[in-house]
Structure 1
Amino acid sequence: MMRRGSLMAKGRFRGGGRFMNANQSRFALGCFVFGCMLIVLNRAFNKAGEVAKGENRPEAANEISAGEPPSAMILGDSRTGVVVEVVGKPVASLELERGKRPIGILMLLPGCHHTALDFFPKGRLCDTCIGLPAETSIIRVAVGKGLFPVAVSPTGVCWNTEKDSDDLQRISQTLNELIVGQSLSNLPLFVFGASSGGVMASVLPSLFNVSGLVIQIASSASEDLLSHEHSITGKYPPSVYMHMPRDLVTAARVEDDLEVLDRIQAPSKEIRLLPKQIDESFFSSQAEGITSEESKTMFAALKEVGVLDADGRLNSDPRTSSWRETLSKSVPRLAHDDGFRPDESPVAELLNIAYAQHELSADGIEQALEFLILKHREN
C-alpha cells in the first residue's frame, strides 16, 4: 500500500478514493510542486525573521569559531575610529573597511566618571580620545575575536537604569546608528559593562535582544533579576561576572546573582580578578609611552618609600596612598605627560588594577568573550 498523496505509477495520484485522468493528474502535480515551493519560501522567510531579531545565527557562530577575525578591523594611532555624539555625549567605534563584516557587536559601557573616549587611543580620527591601557586592551581582544566594538558614554556621571532615562534612549539610538550607518543588522549583540556600566548592562536584556553579558566589578540590578525570576527562566542571556574578591560587598552580591542565574537556567561564568605583583617591567609592558627605564625607576621608587612590599604588591589602596608625590619626583617627564589624574591617568589605572579592589580590567576578557561566543554558537 502507498500512503495518501504519494506519487503512483503512470504519473497519477491517488486522491478521494479514485484515480484522476491525465489532465487532472498534471494539475494536481502542479499544485503539489507549488505547495512545496510555498513551504520552502515560508521557512526561508521565517528564518530571515529570526535573524532580524538577532536569533539563530549559526553562520555567525561558525565564523567566530573559525578563529579568523576580519583583517579590516585595525586598531592603530592613525585608524582609531569614529566618534559621534548621541544626546550630547560621545560614542566611539572603529571604522569598517568596505566589504568587510564582523560577526557580532560588543557594546562597552564604562563606569562612573568615565566615557567612551577611554577605549580608543588618541589619533587622527579621534583627537579627544584618551586610550587607557585596560580599555584599549579590551578593544584589541574584541577585534581579534571578530567583534565590532562600540563604546557608549553615560549621560551623567553614572548610568541611569530607569526605563525612561536618557541613557537608555542613547543606547537605543546608538544601536540604530550602527544598524543603519554601519550596516550591522542581524548581528548578535554582546554587552560589557564595568561598575555602574555593569549594572546598566544587566537591565538591557529586558529591553533589547542581547546574546551575552560581561558584568565587571559590579552585580546586576538584583531586585529586577529576582522580581522577574519566573518570567525570564530559560530566556536570560549567558553572563560572565568578573569581580575583585577584595571588594567583599560586590563579591557577596555576585554570589547571589549566580545563584539566581542557576535557578533561571541561564549559563554563567565567574572570573575572579586578584591583586597583581608589580615588577620592573610592569608599567612599560602595559602602557604606551612609558619606557623600560622609566618603568624600572618607578618600581624602585615605589619600593623604596614602602608603597610596595617585599613581594612587589601594593600595601594600600592607590586611590588614597602617596604614590603620586613619589613618582612626580622620580619620573618628572611622565608626571607632566600623564598627569596622574584619577580616571584619566594610565599609571593610576594600572595601580588600581594591581591593587584589585575596584577598577576596570582587561584580565580574563578573552576567556569571558570566548564563553559568550561558545554559548551563542550552541544556541
Structure 2
Amino acid sequence: MPSPDWAHTRPFSSSLPRFPRAPARTNCSSSLSLCPSRGLMPLVLPDSPSPLQRNKQPVKQMSGTGSASHRPSKPSPPLPAPRWLSLNRPTPLASLALLLLAAAAVFLYSQTAARSYESIGEVPPLSSPTVGTIDGVRAIWELPAAAAPARAVLFVAHGCRCRPENFWPPSPRCTGCVGLPEDVAITELALRRRFAVLAVASAGDCWSPKEVNGAKRVIRSWAAKHGIEGLPVAALGASSGGYFVSRLAAEMSLAAVVIMIAEGAFGGADGALPAVYPPTMFIHMPKDGRRAALLERNSKMLMKNGVEVKELQSLEFPLTPTLLSERIPGLDRELSERIWTAFREEGFVDDNGYMKEDGRATPWKDALVKRGFWKEVSPWADHIQEELNLAYGYHEMTSLHAEEMFDWIEKHLK
C-alpha cells in the first residue's frame, strides 16, 4: 500500500504466530510508545518451512509509493549447499536412507503448506468474479458457490491509488486483476464464509465523502439484481476506504463495519453520531502512533454513544527465507530465499530478521537489480511490497486477523 491517508490503502491470515518480545531495538523511535521489543534468536536458513504462511494521510478526499532507479550489476553468488549434501561416498544403505528422508521432508513440507494455505484461502481459488459497471461505477463482485448460497454481503473499499482488482487473482474472468496477497486472502475467506463480496472503484485516486450516496445505490441495486437484497451487509475499508466506510455506516443500515489502518470519520458538521451506528471494529498498526491516538479517541467517543467497539492490533514480524513464497501464491521458495539473502546482506533486516525501515523507504528494488535478478522478481513487485509493509507493521492492508474479524462480523449478522 502506498503511504498513509482519508484518502488511502490495502488485509492475510491469523495463522501467524505471536513472536516473543524482549529488549527494544536501539533504533526504535521513542515517539512510538507501543513500539514492540524483540527477543528472537538470529535467523538462519532453515531446511524446514517457516511457520509463517501465507498505503496513505487523511485529507478532504478520504487520502497516499515510490519508485527506485535501477543499476544493473552482477548476480549474487549461489547459496551454499546444505552440509548433509557434502557427505563423502555414502553407502547404498545410507543413500537410500537419505533419499527416503528427502522424500519425507518434501511430503511433509507440501502437506504443511497445503494446510496453511487452506487456513487462509490459499488453495486453488474459488475465484470466479464478474467485472462490470453498476449505475455507472466500475465494480467487481463474486457470490459464493450455488451449493452454499450467500448468507451476507461484504462491501470492500480500497485505499488511495488502489483498486478493486487487487482483491481477486488474475483469471479469464478478470484478466486485469492483480491479486495482492493480503487483499485476496480476505476475499477468499469471505467467500468460504458465504459472503457475497462487492468491491467498487472510487471516482478519484482516493474516496470522497460525496461518493457515499452513490455507494448506497450501487450496493442496493446490485443486491436486488442478484436476489440478495434481504441479506445483512457488512463493510470493510482500509485507509481511505476505512474513512469511507465509517461515513457509509452513518448513512445506511450495516450489520458491522471494519475500519482498517484508519481512525474513521464520524458525525456530520456538528460532530454528532446518528441515533443508530453499527458495531465497529478497528484493525490498526500501533507503530503509527499518531493514528493510534486518534483511533483511541474515536473508540471512546463511539462507546460513550453506546456503540460496540472492538480493536485488533497488527504488529511487526520478522522476515524469514520462505516468508514471501509462503504468503504470495506463485512466488517459488528458491526466489524467496534469494530475496531474503539479499535483504540480510544489504543490511535491510536486523539480526532477528525484523526490517530496519518501512518497506516503502527500503531500496530493495535497487538491491535486486544490482544482484542481477530483478527481472525474475519484477512481476511480483507489488505483492512483495505489500508483504514488506506488513512485516514492518506500518499502514498496510492485513489479513493476519481475518479469521477473528469474520468471527466477529458473523456474531452481528441478523
Interval containing the TM-score (normalised by the shorter chain): 0.7 to 0.9
By how many angstroms is 1:168 displaced? 2.4
Question: What is the TM-score normalised by the length of structure 2?
Answer: 0.67
Return the alpha-carbon distance in structure 2 between the equivalents of residues 97 and 141 of structure 1.
13
Return the alpha-carbon distance in structure 2 between the equivalents of residues 181 and 223 of structure 1.
31
Number of residues of Structure 1 aligned to a counterpart in Structure 2: 293
Q: Say whether residues 1:337 and 2:379 are aligned partners.
A: yes
Which 5+ residue runs of structure 2 have no aligned equivalent? 1-120
1:204-353 equivalence runs, <5 A = 204-222=248-266, 224=268, 227-229=271-273, 231-232=274-275, 235-328=276-369, 329=371, 331-338=373-380, 340=381, 345-353=382-390
Return the alpha-carbon distance in structure 2 between the equivalents of residues 206 and 354 of structure 1.
33
Q: Check conservation: 1:112, 1:196, Cα contact below 8 A.
A: yes
Q: 1:183 to 1:99 in 2, by over 3 A?
A: farther
Q: Check conservation: 1:80, 1:121, Cα contact below 8 A.
A: no
Q: Check conservation: 2:144, 2:195, Cα contact below 8 A.
A: no
Paired residue for 1:374? Answer: 411
By how many angstroms is 1:236 displaced? 1.3
Q: Check conservation: 2:208, 2:244, Cα contact below 8 A.
A: yes
Which 5+ residue runs of structure 1 have no aligned equivalent? 1-72
By how many angstroms is 1:77 displaced? 5.8
Return the alpha-carbon distance in structure 2 between the equivalents of residues 106 and 171 of structure 1.
13
1:1-379 equivalence runs, <5 A = 79-86=127-134, 89-98=137-146, 100-161=148-209, 165=210, 167-222=211-266, 224=268, 227-229=271-273, 231-232=274-275, 235-328=276-369, 329=371, 331-338=373-380, 340=381, 345-376=382-413
Secondary structure of 1:126's counterpart equals coil
Return the alpha-carbon distance in structure 2 between the equivalents of residues 137 and 335 of structure 1.
21
Q: 1:211 to 1:78 in 2, by over 3 A?
A: closer
Q: Check conservation: 1:239, 1:372, Cα contact below 8 A.
A: no
Return the alpha-carbon distance in structure 1 between the equivalents of residues 348 and 377 of structure 2.
17
Q: Check conservation: 1:239, 1:266, Cα contact below 8 A.
A: yes
For residues 119-142 of structure 1, give each alpha carbon's deviation from its aligned partner in whole angstroms, at most 9, with x where no partner exists: 001101001111100000001221
Secondary structure of 1:327's counterpart equals helix
Q: 1:247 to 1:152 in 2, by over 3 A?
A: same
By how many angstroms is 1:88 displaced? 5.5
> Which has the higher mean CA deviation after the structures are superposed, 173-182 or 326-335?
326-335
By how many angstroms is 1:170 displaced? 3.6
Secondary structure of 1:358's counterpart equals coil
Return the alpha-carbon distance in structure 2 between the equivalents of residues 99 and 287 of structure 1.
29
Structure with higher RCO (Cα < 8 A, 6+ apart): 2
Secondary structure of 1:215's counterpart equals strand
Paired residue for 2:66? Answer: none
Report the structure, 1 or 2, having the larger helix content. 1
Q: 1:257 to 1:203 in 2, by over 3 A?
A: same
Q: Check conservation: 2:122, 2:185, Cα contact below 8 A.
A: no
For residues 226-272 of structure 1, give each alpha carbon's deviation from its aligned partner in whole angstroms, at most 9, with x where no partner exists: 8224x52xx21111100011111110111011101211111111001
By how many angstroms is 1:171 displaced? 1.3
Return the alpha-carbon distance in structure 2 between the equivalents of residues 127 and 188 of structure 1.
30
Return the alpha-carbon distance in structure 1 between the equivalents of residues 410 and 311 of structure 2.
16
Higher-Rg member (1/2)? 1
Return the alpha-carbon distance in structure 1 between the equivalents of residues 337 and 123 of structure 2.
28
Q: 1:271 to 1:301 in 2, by over 3 A?
A: same
Return the alpha-carbon distance in structure 2 between the equivalents of residues 376 and 310 of structure 1.
45
Return the alpha-carbon distance in structure 1 between the equivalents of residues 321 and 269 of structure 2.
44
> Which has the higher mean CA deviation after the structures are superposed, 118-127 or 259-268?
259-268
The root-mean-square deviation of aligned C-alpha atoms, in Å, is 2.2
By how many angstroms is 1:375 displaced? 3.1
By how many angstroms is 1:293 displaced? 0.7
Secondary structure of 1:319's counterpart equals helix
